[in-house]
Chain A
């Protein structure tokens, strides 16, 4: 029996094999799904080793303030944060946000909120029919119309009828948003990839310097590590470029940002963290934690937005005008 022969391989031999796969982060993630033993080796040895060698200062900072021997969310989360872009969904780009921050300044409009709840109840019955819309449904719950819907319809109309191979039908159903199935196979794959988290382009590094540029002045003592600029760049047709970034707070529960959010009893958004199991996150922009100088675009969209989870993982996006305007 093969598995009895294989079972004789010691951990260090197995790790010898695994470390030959380290160049592509996807390999380890897939291997971690094979069995409990592989999962344990990948998490506790491979990812820990990789993080310690590629982002040593971040690791030492996180461990110095952690109660356990691993950073908040585990080594898997930290490694994913180092190499994965959160995608348009988790960085909040797909949430309806174009109000010049009025809701933030004046408070929520209860009548508008009530009408949204009514619409969401209708769409919810549809989403129940589609399996596994774990990420797509979280964005549709937060507003009756969202940029996500616009993207979806634009892609379906624009694609001329693809002949470039077929998509796995399971993937199509997974990513549909309950409003019918189109035929834009190739285009949809592109949009879905940038919606969910994926391997980031560019260098996989986190630095404190970037983080200090993001936070408002009163939070200058908080230590926030952000990925190298400009992160992963996404372009939405007809709209702007989005430079997506991700980061992590050192000792988040002791930070001033946390005190501000917690003491201010800020409510969380139904946007789950891209890097750990937290189902809700706080909007740093509406909590006045980001520098006010960034401001808004003419259509009300904030220039920068960021969301933080309870473990201190940050996902966000800078925006920029496309060159041709």
Chain B
């Protein structure tokens, strides 16, 4: 069953892993899946609309929620969305997206840029 964790969630009053806002987004997903399962395109549109205005940090929370709820399809979908958002983007863009700072040693990053110079061609503009 997809929702073994959901029961636990509802039982557990003091749950920090899934805020209410996120739950309202994630939990209706499987019903929606079933309703329009036959029509993949409609599902795609629904998903695109759902995520159009979602900021990266929201997306991260959605991933955490789906992971906690053990909801594989939603997790897969959110991860795919992140992947689509960062594919073919520059290193700086990916850093900003995840809210990360570079933690390399001073000379290390330059070495990496040399090592992977071949991958910096054809990158989308930030």
Contact = CB atoms under 8 A, between A and B. Distances in A.
Interface residues of A, number: 37
Contacts of A1: 99
A99 B87 CA distance: 47
A84 B116 contact: no
Contacts of B83: 17-18, 20-21
A33 B95 CA distance: 9
Interface in B39-91: 56-57, 60-61, 63-64, 67, 75-76, 79-80, 82-84, 86-91
A8 B64 contact: yes
Nearest to A10: B67
B100 A6 contact: yes
B10 interface: no
Contacts of A24: 87-88
B108 to A, nearest CB: 8
A5 B61 contact: yes
B97 to A, nearest CB: 9
Contacts, number: 108
Contacts of A134: 114
Given A17-B79, A33-B91, A33-B116, A26 B122 contact: yes
Interface string B86-126: 11111100110011111110000100111111111111000
B75 A13 contact: yes
B122 to A, nearest CB: 7
Interface string A17-38: 1101100111101111111110
5 contacts: A5-B64, A21-B87, A26-B123, A30-B94, A35-B95
Interface of A: 1-3, 5-6, 8-10, 13, 16-18, 20-21, 24-27, 29-37, 39, 76, 80, 84, 134, 193, 196-199
Given A2-B99, A13-B63, 8 more contacts: A2-B56, A9-B63, A13-B75, A18-B83, A21-B86, A25-B119, A34-B100, A193-B121
In order of increasing CB-CB distance, the 5 nearest A-B pairs are A2-B99, A29-B119, A20-B83, A26-B119, A3-B99
